[in-house]
Structure 1
Amino acid sequence: MASKKKVLIIDDDSRNIFALSAVLKARGFQCVSASGAIEGIGLLTSDPEIGIVLMDMMMPEMDGYEAIDQIRSNQEIAGIPIIAVTAQAMVGDREKTLAAGADNYASKPIDVDYLTAILNEHLN
């Protein structure tokens, strides 16, 4: 049952990973993390227990938009839900993120109850 709740957090800021992991673990989710998109995509392809991705959209090397595109074009992992987690909360950012292939969107600072509801919706 716990494997269904495995969440991959991809974020270049270790403080964000720490905070999200702590909150989600307290709510019964198993978390793994990657400090960048390339590492995260590697984890996705190697760990079949990952049920959902929380993707930071603003990262160096490869941003969340490019990472989503790469995930969606890989048949092995294309169906995994991706929730964009971003500080970009301007008019149109949500639509841009969803158009890029994200399944949902949560702006920072994170509303934990909202995020938990999204995770439960996609994982159950």
Structure 2
Amino acid sequence: MPQKLILIIDDDNRNIFALKAVLKAKGFECLSALSAQDGLSIMQENKNVSDVLMDMMMPDMDGYQAMAAMKQSEELRNIPVLAVTAQAMVGDKERCLLAGAAGYVSKPINVDELLMQIEKVTE
């Protein structure tokens, strides 16, 4: 089974560092981007990205806008996105899923929950 390549898009390096450490320990390969624009470019260039962990609250282009841009792209629209957000208010999960996220994980991230979501979106 080929190794999954997960793209982490988050404007906070500490989140990327922590997520990469956890995912690499679980056998995933990771790429990262500090902005949604960079993340979209990486996906265009790297056809092996299997999942995206998308921070929903970023300056310039947020996760909702990035998912909308992915939907417009023939190449990117089928890549599952897991929304990762500190927004855990009533309705936030639904808003992310309505926007096209395949799953939702709130910060601080529960690693078991994250791994379960990754498994679920790539079944």
TM-score band, normalised by shorter chain: over 0.9
What's the RMSD between the two structures over aligned residues? 0.8
Deviations 1:20-47 (A, max 9, x none): 0000100011000000000000001110
In the alignment of these two chains, the number of paired residues is 122
SS at match of 2:14: helix
Partner letter of residue 103 of structure 2?
N
| 1:57-110: CA deviation from partner (whole Å, max 9, x where unpaired) | 000010010000000110111000000000000000001111111111000011
Helix, strand or coil at the partner of 2:75: coil
* Aligned counterpart, 2:15: 16
Match of 1:120 in 2: 119
TM-score (norm. length: structure 2): 0.96
- Contact 2:5–2:31 (CA under 8 A) maintained in structure 1: yes
Q: Given residue 25 of structure 1, which amino acid in structure 2 is its aligned partner?
A: K
SS at the partner of 2:83? strand
Structure 2 SS opposite 1:84: strand
Which residue of structure 2 aligns with residue 34 of structure 1?
33
Deviation at 1:121, TM superposition (A): 2.5
1:123 Cα deviation (Å)?
3.1
Counterpart in 2 of 1:49? 48
